[in-house]
Structure 1
Amino acid sequence: MSPNTFLKKARRERGLTQVHLAEKLHVAVQTVSSWERGERAPQPGVRKRLCEILGKSPEELGLPPLDGGSLHASTQQDHVPLTVVLSTAEEDRVLPEGASERVRDVASVQEEEQPRAVRRNIFAYAYEDVNRQRMLTRVHERWIKGVFEESLYRLTLLVVPLQERPDLLEDPWQEVFQKSPLPSHSLPPGTRITQVYDQADGELLILGEPGSGKTTLLLELARHEIARARHYERYPLPIYFNLASWAERQLPLEKWLVEEINTKYRISPKLAQIWIEAEQIALLLDGLDDVTPEYRTACIQEINTYRQKYGLAPVVVCCRSADYMAQPARLALNKAVVVNALTTEQIDEFVALAGQDLAILRLALQRDAALREMASTPLMLNTLAIAYQGVPMEEVLTDGSFHIQRNRIFAKYVERLIERGGATTKTYTSVHIKQYLTWLARHLQVRNQTEFYIERLQPDWLENNREQHHYQRTVIRLVTSIQCIVGGALAAWLKGGLKNGVVGSGNGILGLFGGGTGNSMLGWMAPGIGGGSQGGASLILILSIVIWLVSILVGSPSLPTLTLRAIWHGLRTGLRTGLKFGLIISPFSIALFTALGGLMHGISYGLGIGFFLAMLIGLLSGLGDGLRHQQEEPPEKVSFKDRLVDGLIFGTGGGLSFAIVELLLQVNHQSTIIYSFIAALFYFLAFGFGGGTRLFASLGKTIQPAETVAWSWKQMAQDMGNTIKKSLLVALVTLVSVGVIIAGITSLFFADPAYGLHYGLVFGTISGLIVGIAGMLTSMLQSGWSSDILADDQHTIPNEGIARSGRNALIGACIFAPIGGIASGLATGIGFGLLGQLSTWPVMAKAFAVMIAVVLFVIFTIAHGGIAWIEHYTLRWYLWKWNRIPRNYVDFLNCVTNLALMRNVGGGYMFTHRLLLEYFAQLAPSQDGRSVSALSENKELGAYQELSAY
């Protein structure tokens, strides 16, 4: 037997050693040790004391249940208990009276397979199969502790009357024997759903009206079956599924189950498939009525197809009666039961137990037949009890249609819960609580969701295209502003104390690594490209090229495959863009430098700076379009107004960051103003009108958090060949493009082709190598570094996913940015040392290593998880601005949870009942003023008006 890890873990959580626990239980230390080794199980008397000391149920400690086999210590109502007799000296087995043949078969098969000498008690936990125990624990924690035990009417769990309906099922023998369906009949009072399940041999359909307790019965059954599965080594695993998500893609049920087990319970698809094929999963399928009507029949047919393939696997389905009967298909199961209305005796007994608090309600129920009908389900009976506790008779008696009455009751119920909240609701008024819950309920209903996780908010929760446009532009501006600010700061840091384009005071990054002052460290490259752009300005030019191209690569969904058509497209785009912006920038530059040093100085420097900025924009735009060509959808058209606002934002950000760094470096103020304005103009045009906002194509469309991350060396190795090939091609295209353009322009200014070719070769090589390295790292990251969202059952803290996404983004950036920086520094050293033949290449290499590492850190953080963080909180800000949610959403959701309007499920929230969700959803007005649910369910037009007046 494998160790009882559950018991061992619980002991350690209490801070107890085996010695301390043995002393508390008055047993030997060896006895406690044998329990944890799985060799023995404690006697019932000791087991009870053990549960009290460790504060857990027997199931949670990996032990048989208490009280002679009842499946839960607090529940004595199961009529078919698993009578467990465990002895440390004997290995007796007692099967329950009336247990299904399936249970007996499992027992007999296991007895035959195990030799007598090593045979263990069949009721002992299957410690050997850790995966089974983990699965059972996840279902129990999620649905039994998280939902069933916290349900709205958990304190008054009524034994609802059941009626068997054979006519609601598909009978495969109908055509053979031409027999009439068996008549429906009521089951004996007090019949438990577990008894019906056993009699149906695990094949059951549960129908009922809204609020009748169908889901509660299903979860009660799940709790019972979890306990059985813990004791029977080969007993099917009961797993809860909600069919609402099936309608999204209408997959074959088997494939959908594998995906649900993987995403919801974090079990590998391979293991899930093994369990399914071995018929080791008992499907507890809730929410068939949540499947949209047009797909409901197809869903039933999928369930029947699954049953044909896995006929011995237990299947239980829950649905509202009207929704099931409204479609033609029938489920092929053994039994169907309908949850009947509570009897008058049950209602009277329930109300009588409350004494004087519900005396008026009891009298009203006797007088008002309509109210008595409303109270015929457990949910509405509890709702009435809370809503009308101690109110006058005239407020209890009702009139109007059923839906109007029910809405009135829920309105009173909500008000009463809010009033009871007292201090809890000081932060939020009753109006705000209803407003926020109405918005949330409507969106959950539209999406067929029952659980809400804050991190699952998406842009499509916004009301219309106008709101989505505002949100998307804001996200784009935030992300691109970060890019411009970083670029401007790095350019100023590299420029240092430039004066008239020459490296000057040594306060910049080159001076930090020993470059000294002046332009001597650039050697023969000191004249620069020409036209006023001397060596220092040329370095800024190459840095800008690299930053832009690295941003394009890292922000792309995959490394592009370049074609001749893409390259030609990029060249045309770049040439056209460069000429256009050259005509715009040059006049401004000439005017600025004329004011600084006279007309000739203005023409020389202004024309050169303006021309090269335009060339830079054209080059980057062309290369960017070439790299993106054929790999993403055509960019959305951006209006002139948006372009103008974008340009002003980005220009201001880039220019200010440039100026601030220069001031910190104590650069001449006049020079700072001129070059800051030039930087602002560059970012204004490049990112406002030159296509810079398309660096991340999917910004603001879908939030994709990186809540969990994993690294796969195997996958990276498999993709390495294709990665190297693509990276070399991108590097070659960049090298040639940058080298040819810079060589051509340099030769034009200096009339020296040899100088120009040499200059272009150095900068082209540096650009190509750094971009190739960035592409290589990006591709490695995308193939080896995988990210995903957390399974619902793994959420323990509200909004945990977004926090994890931000943290994982920083981790990934901390790993890859230094690698990219070092590799880029080496590439710079190759360019300046081997090709440029400069003795100061180590200084250049160190400086570019630091700057590229900073660039990669920022871009990797944004592209691989940081964007999700920005998008999420931007969306939250807009929803708060438009009065859809409160500023502190977690605090609000905890508040309404304390009011019992919602309940916490791990790190998520759900309404305490679907009827309550529907009540709030129908309060949301549609475009024509009517409530959403009134339109969707064809209710009376006056329902909403009466409710509003109430």
Structure 2
Amino acid sequence: MIFERLRIFVSSSMEELAEERAVLKSALSELNIDAWIFEKDAGAQSQTIQQVYKKEIDRSDLYIGLFWRNYGDYTNDEFEYATEKNKDCLIYEKREGIDGKRDPKLQAFLDPMGKVESGLTVQWFNTPKELRDCVKKDAANWQAQKIRELRALNISYKASPLERAEQGELKTLLDKVKHFWVRGVLERTIQRANLMELSKDNQPEAVGNPWEAVLELPFEGARAVPMGKNITDIYDELEHSVLILGQPGSGKTTTLLTLVRELILRAEKNQTLPIPVVFHLSSWVDPEQHLNDWLVDELNDKYQIPGKFGKNWLERQRLILLLDGLDEVPSKNRAACVEAINRFAKNFGLYGMVVCCRLKEYDELKAKLTLNGAICLRPLTDFQIDTYVGEAGVELEGLRNALRQNLAFREIASSPLMLNLMCLVYKGYETENLAKSETPEDWIKHLFSAYVDLMFKKGGISEFAYSREQTLGWLSWIARRLSERNQAMFLIEDLQPSWLSSRVQRWGYLVGFSLVLGLLMGLASIVFWGAGSYIIGETNSQTEYLQPREWIIWLVATPIWLLAFGLMENLGSKSGRPILERVQPGFRRAAVTGLLSAGLWLFVMLSVVLVVTQAKPTLNDLLFHLLWSGLAITFIWAANGRIRSNTYSISTVESLRWSLGNACPGARRGFVIGLLVGFPLYFINHLMGPPWVPHFGFAIVGLGIGGILGGLKPHVNDAKTVPNQGIKLSFRMAILIALNAIWLVAIAIGVAKFGDFEYSPNPAFMLYDHYVPMLGIFIGLSTILFLWFGGLDVIKHYVLRIILSASGQTPWNLTCFMNHASGLDLMQSVGNAYIFVHRRFLEYLAAFRPK
């Protein structure tokens, strides 16, 4: 059932009016309304009578009271409970033969209802036929009112004036929808259909246009859609609120995109009209998330529209929402998704909304969408299939015979998608070659395998950089990962370590990430400390610069620390959610991350120092290696991990925006970091002047740097249109921000000189510009900035790509391969993302196991 039928609770004494109740139930059924009558529908239950009727009143939309002579035990209670729940009420009173025979209690119950202040009108009747006529008329009027109330939720709103900046963003969004979905998907779908080149004069309407459809309206039942009536006509007739249903391959998405094309033309001609935007519901994974928040995120992620614009457009009716793939939402979350859509329509109102879903998955839902109507695309009939294939002539003689002989094969051909593929790939096939498959699954495998062979033969296999086996193997891996996550779009920059399938791969990623990042951080630390004449064995006559053993400490300890932290961070992942992710994001998770990383840092560094020095470490070892460096690094590590995993989460930093609201907490964090970093200066006995001067000098520098950098927040670039551009932009942004260390070092040197942070002639660490090489400070600070503003995610992404390539899951040059698959019509490019040519092809490849 596409829409929930209206329900009516019928209250009446069971001792009389049995015929009238049967007539009433029949009349309501003709109006597609369910009537609940106690003696017919209650059955045996473990609840009390009162609990049963209250439950049914709660579920009902209308209360009907049917009365004659007797006063039922629960008559008054049922009516009062219905009015308490604000249910609509209709009262029918039989007047024939009541003189002196009516229970006084019933009369006392009915008397107040005829008064003006009660708000009810009692309808009299004498015969079952009169009751039938009255009920059908009154229920039909009430039903029409309910439809008007439903459509009032989805009425059009007059658009308010737009700012110039918003006009530009809307135009950009419209162009992207047109480029991604109309040119990138719809036109290529039509092009593939034209590849059949059948030698016939015309094409049956049902195949070229899947509008052999049934239209169903809420509370009104179903009717066939007249031939020649297109989706745009239906969309207008239903006041821009439509549900599109059908079997797999019936043409739901093509129908949706056909409507998108027409709506784009309207928006281009009249710039005051809202613009259509396609969203794929497969990415709606949080059942607690409001639909408006998800839409804003999708506009930002998929179309690169700033959140402030997306939020305003939704509130001001600037967008027509076209939601594809309701059936691809995880089954456990699908009902919540329907409720979220209904709640959004009620709270925000709609100019237009269209939702697509497979019929089977929608029928399984108890909650239904409150849209104005639904179309259900019908499978092709036997006559349409035979006519379509028959007009191709002798080229499809083998296919035509196979369809006659095998009912399972004919059932698959009832899908326009599958029939198109059959006519494309089975030209010239003999009947014997098509008779090898028996089950529908075997037919589908054979069909898609033949389709892949044909796509390679079109240009000659030698022209392609990848073989058929490589292509199918890599695509099947991508299809499985998308299916596991209920996703339809593949973005290279969205690859995550969680996509790794084996323990060896996960270990390889963790070791590789720890090694690359550890060596980078170790080298930066060596340059930082070495340039400042840091020593472990200090003499009074000269300063020893960093020795090989100190190099070993940094280059060995840092990777080991990262490896240990990665292992700890992954604890509990087998149960579905690592332990750290169970901690509330924000301050609590940052605190836990900081304590864990600090403890590991102390243990690893102390162990390495003891092994390398082969003796008890000196005070300087502990002071600089453990306290100063440890505090700084673990504090930064904790701040970075307050929301997401430091090791197993990859996101892009494509551009940055500064705001005062973000700068204030950043300044506070910088002040605290400065205090912690400056704290060890209290213990340097050769520092000239009071030790609190450089201590608070670091705090002041941290305050300024934290305010400037803390105000910067990642932003998705609005010009991203090529694959993996997000990672490339992140790398560029990380380099640009790292270069800002030059002026940050200048600020630190200026504060040092202004505060007169001077040391004795034989210092262990100098801050004023005559002695301190700025290179060390610059390298240390630029490394931190590089990692914080995207570099860390770039490292994780390419380490992951190396592991995937080395294990044979994907090629190294993924962009080249995805374009290769797109050129073969196995995938389609949608902006900087890729989708499979059809959901059924994705499902085929997900189940495919290469040799």
Q: TM-score when scaled to structure 1?
A: 0.60
1:904 paired residue number? 829
* Aligned equivalent of 1:536, options 543, 546, 560: 543
> Once the 2 structures are TM-superposed, how far is the Cα of residue 439 of structure 1 from its aligned partner?
0.5
> Once the 2 structures are TM-superposed, how far is the Cα of residue 616 of structure 1 from its aligned partner?
1.6
**What letter corresponds to residue 200 of structure 1 in structure 2?**
L
2:139 paired residue number? none
Shift in CA distance, 427/145, structure 1 to aligned 2, threshold 3 Å: closer
Shift in CA distance, 531/489, structure 1 to aligned 2, threshold 3 Å: closer
> Once the 2 structures are TM-superposed, how far is the Cα of residue 320 of structure 1 from its aligned partner?
0.4
Kindly indicate which of the two structures has a greater share of residues assigned to strand. Answer: 2
Kindly indicate which of the two structures has a greater share of residues assigned to helix. Answer: 1
1:862 paired residue number? 787
Kept in 1: contact 2:532–2:766 (CA 8 A): no
Q: Is 1:276 equivalent to 2:276 in the alignment?
A: no
> Once the 2 structures are TM-superposed, how far is the Cα of residue 330 of structure 1 from its aligned partner?
2.0
1:616 paired residue number? 621
> Once the 2 structures are TM-superposed, how far is the Cα of residue 353 of structure 1 from its aligned partner?
6.0
1:162 paired residue number? 212
Counterpart-to-counterpart distance in 2, 1:484 and 1:194:
63
Counterpart-to-counterpart distance in 2, 1:620 and 1:493:
15
Counterpart-to-counterpart distance in 1, 2:672 and 2:156:
57
Counterpart-to-counterpart distance in 2, 1:473 and 1:440:
24
> Once the 2 structures are TM-superposed, how far is the Cα of residue 886 of structure 1 from its aligned partner?
1.5
What do residues 759-781 of structure 1 show as CA deviations (whole Å, max 9, x unaligned)?
Answer: 14589789857854774465235
1:438-449, aligned counterparts within 5 Å?
A: 438-449=476-487
Counterpart-to-counterpart distance in 2, 1:222 and 1:319:
17
Kept in 2: contact 1:203–1:334 (CA 8 A): yes
Moved more, 867-876 or 302-311: 302-311
Q: Is 1:823 equivalent to 2:747 in the alignment?
A: yes
Kept in 2: contact 1:204–1:333 (CA 8 A): yes
1:730 paired residue number? 676
2:805 paired residue number? 880
What do residues 541-583 of structure 1 show as CA deviations (whole Å, max 9, x unaligned)?
Answer: 9x99xx99xx99xx999999999xx99x989997x99987776
**What letter corresponds to residue 621 of structure 1 in structure 2?**
L
Counterpart-to-counterpart distance in 2, 1:202 and 1:788:
33
Kept in 1: contact 2:395–2:428 (CA 8 A): yes
> Once the 2 structures are TM-superposed, how far is the Cα of residue 289 of structure 1 from its aligned partner?
0.3
Kept in 2: contact 1:810–1:861 (CA 8 A): yes
Q: Is 1:139 equivalent to 2:168 in the alignment?
A: no
Shift in CA distance, 540/857, structure 1 to aligned 2, threshold 3 Å: farther
Moved more, 465-474 or 446-455: 465-474
1:112-511, aligned counterparts within 5 Å?
A: 129-151=167-189, 155-156=193-194, 158-166=208-216, 170-171=218-219, 181-182=220-221, 184-311=222-349, 313-344=351-382, 346-348=384-386, 350-351=388-389, 354-397=392-435, 399-423=437-461, 426-488=464-526
> Once the 2 structures are TM-superposed, how far is the Cα of residue 632 of structure 1 from its aligned partner?
7.0
Shift in CA distance, 853/901, structure 1 to aligned 2, threshold 3 Å: same
Shift in CA distance, 373/784, structure 1 to aligned 2, threshold 3 Å: same
Q: Secondary structure at 1:151's aligned position in 2?
A: helix
Shift in CA distance, 471/451, structure 1 to aligned 2, threshold 3 Å: same
Counterpart-to-counterpart distance in 1, 2:633 and 2:287:
31
**What letter corresponds to residue 202 of structure 1 in structure 2?**
H
Shift in CA distance, 705/533, structure 1 to aligned 2, threshold 3 Å: farther
**What letter corresponds to residue 409 of structure 1 in structure 2?**
L
> Once the 2 structures are TM-superposed, how far is the Cα of residue 351 of structure 1 from its aligned partner?
3.8
> Once the 2 structures are TM-superposed, how far is the Cα of residue 158 of structure 1 from its aligned partner?
1.0
> Once the 2 structures are TM-superposed, how far is the Cα of residue 787 of structure 1 from its aligned partner?
1.6
Kept in 1: contact 2:322–2:353 (CA 8 A): yes
Counterpart-to-counterpart distance in 1, 2:775 and 2:642:
23
Q: Secondary structure at 2:714's aligned position in 1?
A: strand
Q: Secondary structure at 2:773's aligned position in 1?
A: helix
* Aligned equivalent of 1:706, options 653, 656, 672: 653
> Once the 2 structures are TM-superposed, how far is the Cα of residue 611 of structure 1 from its aligned partner?
4.6
Shift in CA distance, 529/828, structure 1 to aligned 2, threshold 3 Å: farther
Counterpart-to-counterpart distance in 2, 1:133 and 1:426:
38
Q: Is 1:787 equivalent to 2:714 in the alignment?
A: yes
> Once the 2 structures are TM-superposed, how far is the Cα of residue 394 of structure 1 from its aligned partner?
1.1
**What letter corresponds to residue 680 of structure 2 in structure 1?**
T
Q: Secondary structure at 1:391's aligned position in 2?
A: coil
Q: Secondary structure at 2:279's aligned position in 1?
A: strand
Aligned pair count? 654
Q: Secondary structure at 1:909's aligned position in 2?
A: strand
> Once the 2 structures are TM-superposed, how far is the Cα of residue 471 of structure 1 from its aligned partner?
0.8
Structure 2 residue ranges without an equivalent (≥5): 1-150, 195-206, 566-584
What do residues 15-66 of structure 1 show as CA deviations (whole Å, max 9, x unaligned)?
Answer: xxxxxxxxxxxxxxxxxxxxxxxxxxxxxxxxxxxxxxxxxxxxxxxxxxxx
Q: TM-score when scaled to structure 2?
A: 0.67
Kept in 2: contact 1:573–1:625 (CA 8 A): yes
**What letter corresponds to residue 901 of structure 1 in structure 2?**
L
Shift in CA distance, 855/728, structure 1 to aligned 2, threshold 3 Å: closer
> Once the 2 structures are TM-superposed, how far is the Cα of residue 236 of structure 1 from its aligned partner?
3.2
What do residues 874-902 of structure 1 show as CA deviations (whole Å, max 9, x unaligned)?
Answer: 11111111110113222221211111111
Q: Secondary structure at 2:460's aligned position in 1?
A: helix
What do residues 144-185 of structure 1 show as CA deviations (whole Å, max 9, x unaligned)?
Answer: 12221122655447111333253xx654xxxxxxxxx43x33
Counterpart-to-counterpart distance in 2, 1:561 and 1:272:
30
Kept in 2: contact 1:578–1:619 (CA 8 A): no
Q: Secondary structure at 2:210's aligned position in 1?
A: coil
Q: Secondary structure at 2:284's aligned position in 1?
A: helix
> Once the 2 structures are TM-superposed, how far is the Cα of residue 296 of structure 1 from its aligned partner?
1.4
> Once the 2 structures are TM-superposed, how far is the Cα of residue 835 of structure 1 from its aligned partner?
4.7
Q: Secondary structure at 2:544's aligned position in 1?
A: helix
Q: Secondary structure at 2:458's aligned position in 1?
A: helix
Kept in 2: contact 1:734–1:767 (CA 8 A): no
Shift in CA distance, 783/578, structure 1 to aligned 2, threshold 3 Å: closer
Shift in CA distance, 423/154, structure 1 to aligned 2, threshold 3 Å: closer
> Once the 2 structures are TM-superposed, how far is the Cα of residue 228 of structure 1 from its aligned partner?
1.8
**What letter corresponds to residue 158 of structure 1 in structure 2?**
G
Kept in 2: contact 1:825–1:848 (CA 8 A): no
Kept in 2: contact 1:902–1:909 (CA 8 A): yes
* Aligned equivalent of 2:728, options 803, 807, 814: 803
Q: Secondary structure at 1:239's aligned position in 2?
A: strand
Kept in 1: contact 2:674–2:701 (CA 8 A): no
**What letter corresponds to residue 544 of structure 2 in structure 1?**
A
What do residues 390-412 of structure 1 show as CA deviations (whole Å, max 9, x unaligned)?
Answer: 22221123642222222221122
> Once the 2 structures are TM-superposed, how far is the Cα of residue 328 of structure 1 from its aligned partner?
1.7
Kept in 2: contact 1:479–1:862 (CA 8 A): no
What do residues 231-284 of structure 1 show as CA deviations (whole Å, max 9, x unaligned)?
Answer: 345433322111122233442223322332333333344433333333343221
Q: Secondary structure at 1:536's aligned position in 2?
A: coil
Q: Secondary structure at 2:744's aligned position in 1?
A: helix
Kept in 1: contact 2:456–2:468 (CA 8 A): yes
Counterpart-to-counterpart distance in 2, 1:857 and 1:283:
44
Q: Secondary structure at 2:243's aligned position in 1?
A: strand
Counterpart-to-counterpart distance in 2, 1:127 and 1:856:
37
Kept in 2: contact 1:289–1:296 (CA 8 A): yes
Moved more, 878-887 or 327-336: 327-336
Counterpart-to-counterpart distance in 1, 2:375 and 2:824:
34
Counterpart-to-counterpart distance in 2, 1:305 and 1:266:
26
Shift in CA distance, 358/626, structure 1 to aligned 2, threshold 3 Å: same
